[in-house]
Structure 1
Amino acid sequence: MAVELNHTIVPARDPQVSARFLAEILGLRVDPPVAHFTPVTLANHVSLDYDQLDEFEPHHYAFLLSDEEFDAALARIRQGGITHYGDPACREVGQIYHSRSTVGRRGTYFRDPDGHLMEILTPGGAGS
């Protein structure tokens, strides 16, 4: 069997709020609770299991989307008044980036309610 990532735990002050925030941007649904976790399952069956914690360091999570999914997610970000950035240092406000190493790749960063740095990006490459 090939090794696959199955799930990761995402610390959140309010797991339901944070899971719903991400799910709405990505066009996904929040799954039913599993024990005390609030999961959001991605297309490749990896789940982000939101867990309640009061104190934690923010993390970075990146999501690969098709061009169409990216455009839809970016529209939801903008419609929601969510600040997004063209760089991981969050200096290029309202921008998207265009990769220098992968032709056709676009992406942007935004913060979730807990300060995690979320990134959405397209695959780029052939056919872009």
Structure 2
Amino acid sequence: MSISFNHTVVAARNREESATYFTDVFGLAPAKEFGPFLVVTVEHGVSLDFAKVPDDQEIHPQHYAFLVDDADFDAIYDRILQRGQQHWADPRGTKPGEINHHDGGRGVYFQDPAGHYLEIITRPYGSGG
């Protein structure tokens, strides 16, 4: 059996702001509208489908982690720094303004406009190094 991850819905108060933030920081093509969603496509055809949440509905922050190569890490991290955006080396936020070096790679955590936690890593966890 072959199972592949295809897409996920990302809740946002302002889907345009959140999708644009994501494409800007990650250096991706602009989102495309598909029904009630703004769709951002990443590697292997996987997409993040940004959806507006009604004002009276709470957004429960999720965690989205992305494996990137060293050049993409540098570019994304540079855009985070250019924005003056808060970021952390750890998921609890106890190491602000730092990156981590788990498994011989690099990683950093930050938040999108809707409060979701984003993470970029250059080595999968547990891969050694």
What is the TM-score of this pair, normalised by structure 2? 0.90
2:23/2:31 contact within 8 Å kept: no
Q: 1: distance between equivalents of 2:123 and 2:92?
A: 21
Cα RMSD, aligned residues only: 1.6
Q: How does 1:15-94 map to 2 (within 5 A)?
A: 15-53=15-53, 54=55, 55-94=58-97
Q: Give the aligned length.
A: 124
Letter in 1 for 2:61: P
Distance 1:44 1:121 in 2: 17
How far apart in 1 are the matches of 2:87 and 2:60? 20
Q: Where does the alignment leave 5 or more consecutive residues of structure 2 unmatched? A: none
TM-score, normalised with respect to structure 1:
0.90
Q: What SS class does the counterpart of residue 33 from structure 2 fall into?
A: coil
Question: SS at the partner of 2:44?
Answer: coil
Residues 58-102 of structure 1 show CA distances to partners (whole Å, capped at 9, x for unaligned) of: 000001110010001000000011111000011211000111xx2
> Which residue type is aligned with residue 40 of structure 1?
V
Q: Quick one: distance in 2 between partners of 1:13 and 1:41?
A: 20
CA drift at 1:29 = 1.8
Extract unaligned runs of 5+ from structure 1: none
Aligned-partner residue type, residue 118 of structure 2: M
Percent identity, aligned pairs only, is: 42
Aligned-partner SS, 1:33: strand
Q: Detail structure 1 runs of 4+ shifted over 3 Å in the superposition.
A: none
| Alignment check: 8 A CA contact 2:33 2:39 kept | yes
Alignment deviations for residues 11-43 of structure 1 (CA, whole Å, 9 cap, x no partner): 000011001111111110223200010111001
Task: Tell me the residue number matched to 1:111.
Answer: 111
